[in-house]
Amino acid sequence: MLFCLLSFLPALVMMCLIFSFSAQTGEESGSLSSKISHMAVDVGNQIFHLDLTESEIESYAGSLEHPIRKLAHMTEYFILTILVLFPLFICGLRGRSLVLTALFFCVSFAATDEFHQSFVAGRGPSVKDVGIDSIGVCAACLLYWTAAFFHRKHHTFVN
């Protein structure tokens, strides 16, 4: 039982991390997204020897900022879902119950996280962001379901 409870610690850490990102003001969050976008363009510029000017780097970084921000949403909820699926599995849930419980929990957390943002300066709740977060949740559930399918298929043929 103790192992079951302790297995939730990584998910709780991820939830705290998501909560801390949501607690950033709009300005702080925008600054972080801008830095990451600039880093991505700089890395691409160096790897592909594009020799972009500073204004081109600014332009590309500005264009990438929104998609990178949304990809980050999906990624953090993908990771959270994986970190929720494993302890639920360890604690005895299997099959459809496991996936639906993780799906419900993580989408509910995404909704409450958006509600939390309504209390942060320069931020606000967005149903669209809950949908984007849910894509990450569904992708993780689909990955689990696919892995479980192939595991069962292989296990059946081995025995």
Alpha carbons 26 and 124: distance in angstroms, whole number: 9
Give Rg (Cα) of the chain: 19
Burial class (CB in 10 A: 0-12, 13-18, 19+), 94: exposed
- pTM of the predicted structure, to 2 decimals: 0.89
Provide the percentage of residues in the chain whose pLDDT is more than 90: 87
- In this prediction, residues 16-37 reach a mean pLDDT of 93
Is 34 in contact with 61 (CB distance < 8 Å)? yes
**Confidence category of residue 156, pLDDT binned at 50, 70, 90:** low
- In this prediction, residues 126-153 reach a mean pLDDT of 94
- In this prediction, residues 101-123 reach a mean pLDDT of 96
Alpha carbons 81 and 14: distance in angstroms, whole number: 10
